[in-house]
């Protein structure tokens, strides 16, 4: 079975938009929030196998019983409210952290568990909606200190902790400042109050703070957010988020390709477990503009989202192909096709296997090889990448 029909049900996290993923895929709404639809083999929510007579009920079972590996997890994401601030570990950090928590006897589904599998979770996100909004990586601390000084100006003692924050960031750096903001220092609630007051005085500069604190009252993650790049993506624009990058998606619909992992170290804007020392252990505290991925045309009707560097040089070990017409290409690993509009006839040329896929339908290419797509619309294909460079 070279081309296998698969599907899944959206996960109903509270931040998801009501019926948004169903509307995108041309389906009846579920009646609740639809946050993410997972297309992959991760045991938390493996994709179902739809083929009659198939030997596997889902892709986790397919992976376990065939010995093949799907080297990524593809997600359709629809955020109506901010996700948690988070960072993901490197391959080495994930393996060591998972082994450490296994030896400690912490159940994999325990709320305070940090490492639920031994794999890294680098990721890229491609906006499907205009004005996809995200926080991504630390910006130049000088810009943050200028903003804090402006927010404190004219407030007298009511802005003292904002000035302390600016001084600490300048003199002690990002890591020490994040540790202070997310720690248990008794002055942090007062600092959040001063930040909220500054946001009310300067909505044009700090309006995001008011939004975040309205969703998560008193959460110091709103303060960390002030230190991050605030990005607005138009449809088709993309971000690359390697290991250690601190980020949060705030609003919009996107298609996300990542490592086949659910390892998340959180830093606020959540009611879930936050382990500040472990977050700081994996956190990349470098600063600068985030990495935007510009799609490269490979053929008429086919373009690729991929990092310039390959996996050996901290680049993405996968790529996402956008297909809008007839296309032919060769894959190196098992791959997943997601059709978002129109319809395509998909042929695995090496075996002659043919499947039709229309809007809202998904296929697993179980055996790598030459693929051709004929039709019109818009589809995405996620595939692993072994080459070091473009």
Clarify whether 153 is annotated catalytic: no
Task: For the chain, give the secondary structure using H, E and C.
Answer: CCEEEEECCCECCCCEEECHHHHHHCCCCCCCEECEEEECCCCCCCCEECCCCCCCCEHHHHHHHHCCCCCCEEEEEEECCCCCCEECCCHHHHHHHHHHHHHCCCCCCCCCCCCCCCCCCCEEEEECCCCEEEEEEECCHHHHHHHHHHHHCCCHHHHHHHHHHHHHHHHHHHHHHHHHHHCCCCCHHHHHHHHHHHHHHCHHHHHHHHHHHHHCCCCCHHHHHHCEEEEEECCCCEEEECCCCCEEEEEEEEEEEECCCCCCEECCCCCCCCCHHHHHHHCCCCECCCEEECCEEEECCEEEECCCECHHHCCCCEEEEEECCCEEEECCCCEEEEEEEEEEEEEECCCCEEEEEECCCEEEECCCCEEEEEEEEEEEEEEECCCCEC
Active-site entry in 5, 116, 139, 266: 266
Active-site positions read 266
């Amino acid at each position: 079975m070279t081309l296998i029909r698969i599907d899944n049900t959206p996960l109903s996290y509270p931040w998801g938009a009501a019926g948004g993923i169903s509307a995108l895929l041309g389906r009846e709404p579920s009646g609740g929030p639809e946050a993410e639809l997972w297309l992959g083999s991760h045991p938390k929510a493996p994709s179902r196998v739809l083929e009659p007579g198939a030997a596997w009920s889902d892709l986790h079972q397919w992976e376990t019983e065939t010995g093949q590996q799907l080297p990524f997890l593809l997600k359709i994401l629809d955020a109506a409210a901010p996700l948690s601030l988070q960072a993901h570990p490197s391959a080495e950090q994930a393996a060591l952290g998972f082994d450490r928590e296994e030896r400690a006897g912490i159940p994999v589904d325990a709320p305070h568990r940090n490492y639920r599998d031994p794999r890294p979770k680098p990721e890229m996100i491609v906006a499907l909606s205009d004005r996809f909004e995200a926080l991504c990586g630390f910006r130049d601390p000088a810009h943050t200190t200028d903003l804090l000084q402006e927010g404190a100006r004219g407030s007298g003692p009511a802005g003292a902790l904002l000035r302390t924050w600016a001084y600490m960031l300048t003199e002690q750096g990002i890591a020490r400042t994040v540790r202070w903001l997310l720690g248990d220092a008794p002055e942090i609630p007062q600092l959040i109050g001063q930040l909220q007051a500054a946001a009310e005085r300067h909505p044009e500069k700090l309006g995001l703070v008011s939004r975040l604190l309205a969703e998560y009252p008193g959460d110091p993650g709103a303060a960390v957010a002030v230190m991050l790049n605030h990005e607005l993506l138009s449809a088709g624009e993309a971000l690359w988020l390697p290991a250690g990058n601190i980020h949060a998606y705030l609003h919009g619909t996107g298609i996300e390709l990542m490592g086949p992992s659910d390892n998340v170290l959180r830093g606020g804007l959540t009611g879930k477990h936050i382990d500040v020392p472990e977050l700081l252990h994996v956190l990349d505290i470098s600063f600068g503009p985030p990495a935007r991925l510009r799609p490269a045309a490979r053929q008429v009707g086919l373009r690729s989202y991929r990092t310039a560097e390959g996996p050996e040089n901290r680049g993405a070990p996968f790529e996402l192909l956008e297909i809008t017409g007839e296309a032919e290409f060769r894959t190196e690993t098992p791959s997943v096709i997601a059709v978002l509009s129109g319809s395509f006839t998909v042929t695995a040329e090496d075996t002659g296997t043919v499947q039709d896929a229309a809007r809202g339908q998904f296929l697993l290419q179980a055996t790598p090889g030459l693929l051709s797509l004929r039709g019109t619309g818009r589809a995405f294909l996620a595939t692993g990448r072994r080459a070091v460079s473009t």
